Amino acid sequence: MLPIFTERLEVDDARRRIQLLPDLLVNQIAAGEVVERPSSVLKELVENSLDAGATRIQVDIERGGVKLIRVADNGEGVLGDDLRLALSRHATSKLRQVEDIGAIRSLGFRGEALPSIGSVSRLSLSSRARGAERAWRIEIDGVSAVGEVAPVAHPEGTTAEVRDLFFNTPARRKFLRTEKTEFDHVDSVLKRLALTRFDVGFSLRHNLRDHWVVGPAKDRRDQEKRVAELMGAAFLENALYVEHAAAGLVLWGWLAKPVFSRSQADLQFFYVNGRMVRDRLVAHGIRQAFQDVLFHGRHPAFALHLELDPGLVDVNVHPTKHEVRFREGRLVHDYLYRTLYEVIAADRPGQTGRPQPVLSPDSTPLIQRDSTGGSHSGAPGAGQLPFPLRVADSVASYAASIRAQSPGVPGSLDRGSHQPVPPFAGEDLPPLGFALAQLHGVYVLTQTGRGLAIVDMHAAHERIVYE
C-alpha cells in the first residue's frame, strides 16, 4: 500500500505544497472581512480622516456608493514618500510597538483597510501633508500593481476616491441591494460617526445633491442641535441628558424616555471611547434597565458614550472593529444597568420643580442634577429621597374626584375616617384602586377592594400610551 500512497503524493505534489498567496489574492481575502458593502468602505475612510485630526469631512456618493465614494478631509495628510506604503498591508502610523496594542486610542490600527479596498475597486489617494509644499497622488485598480506616485494640485489634507466597487469580483457585486438601500446604509454609518465627533463638521452629498450638513458643535446646545438633526426633533424632545461617573467609568449622552420606545432598534447609538460598537453585554445592560417599562417587542432609543481607560477594553476582536471585549465585563454591565435604571426612575411623570437626587438602594445619591442641568455624584449618607406624594396625602381630594366620576363610591376614604374600606362592586372601584403613597419615586401603593396593590408608574404610563 505504501508505494501507491507515495505515487499519489507525486501526482498531486504541486497542488498540495504550501506556498505564499499572491498579494492581490491576500488583499481580496482581507476585503471579504472588511468590505461588505459601500457603507463599510465609507466607515474605514472616514475613520482614517478622524484619526488624521480632520475637523471637516466631505463625503460624495454616487449610485449608493457603487459608482463613487469620495471622502475629502483637512487632516494631517500623508507624505509623498509614504503614499505607496499606505496601500501596503499591515502598514500604519497608529502603532509603533507591541505594548500599543494593549491601549489602542485610534479608530483604525490594522493597516488592512486601504489595500483591501484597493483590491476590489479603483482606488486613488491624493494628499498634501500639513506644512508640505506639494501634494501627491497614487492609484491602484484592483488588477494591476500599485501605480507610481505623481504630483497633483490638492489642499492640505487627503482625498480618497473609490470607484466601481467590486468591478473585478462580480460574485460580490450581485449581493448588493438597490441604490436606495445601499445609500441608506451609507447615511446611517456617517450619522453614527457624526454623533460621536461633535468637534468635526460633516457633509453628505448623493448624486451631486446635498443630503445633510452639520457644522462643528462647540457646546451642549450645538450638540443637541446636531442630535435633533440626525436623530429627529421628536427624539430630543423626549430625551433625558445623562452624565455620570463612577468606578473609573464615564457615561454621557441622551436617553429617550420609555414613552418614545420604537418598534425597531433603529435609534440606538452606543460608543466606547468614541468607537461605535454593537456589543451584546452593553445591549443586555441597557435592555435590563428598561425591562420594567417597555412592552415586549419595543426598543429603547439612545445616543450614549462610555469612556474608560483604553487598557481596560480590547478593540482588536474583529476586523470590522464593531465588537469589543471589556476586561471587567460584569462591572460595565452593572454600571450601565444601574445608572440608566436610576435615570429612568428619576424621570417621574408630571414632575415639576427641581429634580430630586437618584438614590441607590443604600440611599446614596447616584446623580444629583442642579438647576442648570449639570450633574455630580452624591456622597454617602446624603439623606433620604423626599416623596412628592406622602402616605395618605390628598386622599380626600383624590377620593372626591373619583366620587364625582363614580357617584356610587362611598365616602369612607375621607381624611380622618378610621373606618376600613368596605368591599366595593367592581363597577364602582377604579381598576387599580385608590392611591395611598408613592414608594421610591417609582411605585404607587394603592388600596383596592381586596387589599393593597403596588403599581409601577412607568409601566402603567407606558400601557396607557400604548393603548
Q: Count CB atoms within 10 A of the CB of residue 404.
A: 9
Instruction: Summarize pLDDT for 154-213 with one digit per residue, the tens.
Output: 999 999 999 999 999 888 898 999 999 999 999 999 999 999 999 999 999 999 999 999
| pLDDT for 123 | 95
The model's pLDDT over 99-130, given as tens digits with 9 standing for 90+, comes to 666 666 777 665 678 888 999 999 999 999 99
Would you state the pLDDT for residue 389? Answer: 39
Mean pLDDT of the chain: 80
Task: Provide the CB-side half-sphere exposure for 101 (13 A, CA).
Answer: 5
Q: Quote the pLDDT of residue 294.
A: 87
Secondary structure of residue 103 in the 3-state scheme: helix
Whole-angstrom distance, CA of residue 226 vs CA of residue 365: 31
Q: Alpha helix locations (H) across 174-290?
A: 179-194, 220-231, 233-237, 280-289
**Measured CA distances, 299 to 32, 242, 260, 261 (Å):** 31, 18, 9, 5
pLDDT score for 369: 35
Give the side-chain half-sphere CA count within 13 A for 416. 1
Q: What is the pLDDT of residues 394-405, one digit of tens each?
A: 445 555 555 555
Query: What ranges do the domains of the chain cover?
Result: 23-216, 231-376, 395-466
Contact assessment for residue 193 and residue 154, using Cβ atoms and an 8 Å cutoff:
no
CA 433 – CA 395 distance, rounded (Å): 12
Q: So what's the architecture of 231-376 in CATH?
A: 2-Layer Sandwich (3.30)
Query: CA 304 → CA 235, 269, 300, distances in Å?
Result: 13, 6, 12
Q: What is the CA radius of gyration of the chain?
A: 30
Identical fold between 23-216 and 231-376: no
Are 41 and 69 in contact, with CB atoms under 8 Å apart?
Answer: yes
Query: If residue 303 lies in a helix (H) or strand (E), which one and from where to where?
Result: strand 302-307
Instruction: Report the distance separating Cα 276 and Cα 125, nearest Å.
Output: 25
- Of the two residues 263 and 393, the one the predictor is more confident about is 263
Greater confidence (373 vs 62) lies with 62
Long-range CB contacts (within 8 A, 24+) of 277-284: 277/322, 277/323, 277/324, 278/322, 278/323, 279/323, 279/324, 281/326, 281/329, 281/332, 281/333, 282/306, 282/332, 282/333, 282/336, 284/333
Q: Which grid cell sits at 327?
A: 476586561
What does the alpha-carbon distance between residue 311 and residue 70 come to, in Å, rounded to a whole number?
34
Q: Of 3.90.850.10, 3.30.565.10, 3.20.20.20, 2.60.40.790, which CATH number belongs to 23-216?
A: 3.30.565.10
The CA distance from 366 to 338, in Å, is 9
CA distance 374 to 384: 21
Report residue 458's pLDDT band, with 50, 70 and 90 as the boundaries: confident
pLDDT value at residue 456: 86
Q: Phi/psi of residue 173, each to 5°?
A: -65, -35
